[in-house]
Amino acid sequence: MIKSTVITFLICLATFSVGCSHKENNSLEEALSLAGENRTELEKVLNHYAADPADSLKYRAACFLIENLPGHFSYKDTSFINAYHNAIDSVADLYYRKAEHDSIFETTAEKYSKTLDFVEDIHILAGDYLIMNIDSAFSAWQNGSWAKHVDFDEFCEYILPYKIEEKQTLDNWREYFSESYVNKALQVLQYNDMHKNLAYRACQEIIHSIQDSIKVVINYNQDILPIRKMSTLTRIPSGPCDDYSVLVTAILRAKGLPVAIDYTPQWPFRNMGHSWNVLLINYGKNVMFNGIDPFIHNYLRDDHPMAKVFRRTYKANEELVELLHTEKNVPEAFKNPFIRDVSTEYLKTVDVEIPVKEKKHKYVYLAVFDNVNWFPIYWAKVEKGKAVFRNMGRNITYLPVAYGESGIIPVGNPINLNPRGEIRYLNPDFTACDTLTLRRKYLLFGAMYSFMDNILDLKVQASNSSSFRNAKVLYTTKDYLRSAGEIHFEDQPAYRYWRFYKSTPNGGNFNIAEIMFFEPDSIRPTYGKIIGTEGSYYNREKEGKEAAFDHDALTFFDAPWQKENWVGMDFGKPIPIEKIIYYPRSDGNFIELGDEYELVYWHGDGWQSLGKQTANDISLKFANCPSNALFLLHDRTKGKEERIFTYDGDKQVWW
């Protein structure tokens, strides 16, 4: 219903005509027609502002809101939603009484977990409510101190809309935030002539002040209805990044600051996406910031590529509406037409042209891999056997797809777009096969490197004395590990006591997840009595020395902070050791002994198997693999994280 209304409306979309009567404005008249019985409420708004020539700008704003009203929606059962938000408010009162909070929150989530129907705003929006919002928005814009640089078109996008996003409670959120919320924080600006009218400084002061009432705890696993009553959101100390972006937008717009929400629907190198805020500062530039992070800056990391960035808008995107009208099945990310592409504000982009043989669908998409499935990230119309995708992010692997009732339909092999914007078609070539040596199933992120730094300069010592008197140093770790570590001893020395030892004169610690000692010609590790430093850094029993020998690469010995730490084995008698395998503290994505792995490559319409292996070493070797292919390594024994890669220069290159 919502989709069809948007389509019907925008098929008739005409260029916005400033200052004309609604009888002469085709798009406005179309919206009024779609309002049905609620038309009188919307005409009430237009007549209210048409009556006074001094309100001509407000009349234009009313036209903008009404002609773009179709497609915006709210929950139908307002009594249920009001009761839900009241219940959440009561739980928020108990947040720091954790036991009660968790119990009541679980009960509340279960009680209010039903699927709710929606209703078009155009059918329910009261004229008085819209007038109140327009007047409040104009007051914040024209009488406030921080939007003097904002023109009318920018005002319509960044301040005017009566809601921040769909399903938001239609209450007087502007008054709630403008009259009393964090106003003291702004008073200090009045004493600084340079800063008192700067939107940047006002934004910074507001964000600082609301941190007292909102604790930044990003939690993506709350199985409850989204909280879309703004006053309730201010009392919830945890939630997804999107909640913080919505809340901050409401607070700042109520204060007259020009703010919007930008987002990338899916990272091209991992699962999930992200959203954040942008502030239109006095010099005409959009500056990004992360919800209630008090530091307004470009916080997105340069090593985090993005395929696409969109801005949430009140006005529908005509390209998307045409797509929705043309295609029977559309990816979830594009069922909302109230977005526009702002990738060029963030990325060095390139247009991607690909041949398309697909004839059933008039649109195709470029998709990125979300660790499990391909996620359509942008659209293009098929014309004359090709599709041109505008302003795509670089250094990313994409899959061209169409979209049907069951989801994506591949229409070509993956393409790799390099940093220069050049396309490499990943067409598997069995005439030039490779043997792949694989050491991980998932790329290494930044935190992993800090853990690996912690394992540098460990000494492998052996002795026949329990005090390690006259211990022999057999090995010292020197390099970062791209895989688990493996140490071979050609002379196979025999000692009773073996350990990993670290000396830090000024105090320090180290982590190690797993240690395995192998006797000559044995494929199974030998175990004795666990010996080593007692305790752990945080005094957690599960992070004591026993964790280094528990057959679990996700647990680890976290040595206490002191000058000397060690962990090892007492074998009861001297035994020869041929090799040692050890795992640093990590994400559990190294090749693990005993796990079964399957290597697959993409060809045609899906993943094709290159065989399975049970790991008996810290790396796997797969022979007769096609070159120029896109691969994925599954751990069939355990785990979830896995990532696509190519094999170039005898190593895995992650995408």
Lowest-confidence range among 238-247, 308-317, 413-422, 574-583?
Answer: 238-247
Rounded Cα–Cα distance for residues 196 and 205 (Å): 11
Predicted confidence at residue 242, as pLDDT, reads: 83
- pLDDT band per the 50, 70, 90 thresholds, residue 285: confident
Per-residue pLDDT of 51-69, as tens digits, reads: 999 999 999 999 999 999 9
Residue 219 clears pLDDT 50, i.e. is over it: no
Between 492 and 71, whose confidence is greater?
71
Q: What is the pTM of this model?
A: 0.88
Q: Tell me the two tokens of residue 24.
A: 């002469």
- pLDDT band per the 50, 70, 90 thresholds, residue 22: low
- The full DSSP string for 500-537 is EEEEEEEEE--EE-EEEEE-TT-SS-B--EEEE--S-T
Predicted confidence at residue 518, as pLDDT, reads: 97
Strand partners, 438: 620
- pLDDT band per the 50, 70, 90 thresholds, residue 17: very low
- Residue 443 per-residue DSSP state: P
| Stretch (H or E) spanning 25 | none
- pLDDT band per the 50, 70, 90 thresholds, residue 102: low
Dmax (CA) of the chain: 100
Q: Helix, strand, or coil here: 424?
A: strand
Mean pLDDT of 73-100: 74
Residue 23 clears pLDDT 60, i.e. is over it: no
Predicted confidence at residue 12, as pLDDT, reads: 45
- pLDDT band per the 50, 70, 90 thresholds, residue 221: very low
Predicted confidence at residue 5, as pLDDT, reads: 47
Predicted confidence at residue 294, as pLDDT, reads: 58
Distances from the Cα of 434 to the Cα of 85, 189, 611, angstroms? 59, 65, 14
Mean pLDDT of 416-443: 96
- pLDDT band per the 50, 70, 90 thresholds, residue 220: very low
CB distance 651 to 631 below 8 Å: no
Per-residue pLDDT of 570-611, as tens digits, reads: 999 999 999 999 999 999 999 999 999 999 999 999 999 999
Q: What is the three-state SS of 80-96?
A: HHHHHHHHHHHHHCCCC
CB distance 387 to 366 below 8 Å: no
Residue 93 clears pLDDT 80, i.e. is over it: no
Predicted confidence at residue 98, as pLDDT, reads: 54
Half-sphere exposure of 197 (CA within 13 A, CB side): 12
Residue 103 clears pLDDT 80, i.e. is over it: no
Q: Tell me the two tokens of residue 327.
A: 């295609």
Predicted confidence at residue 9, as pLDDT, reads: 46
What percent of the chain shows pLDDT beyond 70? 87
- pLDDT band per the 50, 70, 90 thresholds, residue 30: very high
- CA geometry: angle at 10 spanning 7 and 13, to 5°? 160
Q: Helix, strand, or coil here: 361?
A: coil
Detail the DSSP E strand segments found in 406-493: 407-410, 415-417, 423-425, 429-438, 459-463, 472-476, 485-488
Rounded Cα–Cα distance for residues 506 and 498 (Å): 25
Distances from the Cα of 161 to the Cα of 131, 166, 173, 253, 312, angstroms? 12, 11, 12, 9, 11
What percent of the chain shows pLDDT beyond 90? 69
Residues 6+ apart with CB under 8 A from 184: 209
What's the whole-number average pLDDT of the chain?
Answer: 88
Lowest-confidence range among 112-116, 257-261, 461-465, 524-528?
Answer: 112-116
Residues 6+ apart with CB under 8 A from 508: 502, 561, 562, 563, 565
Between 119 and 203, whose confidence is greater?
119
Residues 6+ apart with CB under 8 A from 429: 626, 627, 628, 629
- CA geometry: angle at 604 spanning 599 and 605, to 5°? 85
Residue 21 clears pLDDT 50, i.e. is over it: yes
Q: What is the three-state SS of 483-495?
A: CCEEEECCCCCEE
- CA geometry: angle at 311 spanning 252 and 57, to 5°? 60
Predicted confidence at residue 192, as pLDDT, reads: 66
Residue 195 clears pLDDT 80, i.e. is over it: no
Mean pLDDT of 623-638: 98
Predicted confidence at residue 222, as pLDDT, reads: 54
Residue 19 clears pLDDT 50, i.e. is over it: no
Q: Helix, strand, or coil here: 572?
A: strand
Residue 504 clears pLDDT 90, i.e. is over it: yes
Residue 101 clears pLDDT 60, i.e. is over it: no
Mean pLDDT of 527-551: 96
Rounded Cα–Cα distance for residues 278 and 281 (Å): 9
Residue 358 clears pLDDT 90, i.e. is over it: no
Per-residue pLDDT of 315-339, as tens digits, reads: 999 999 999 999 999 999 999 999 9
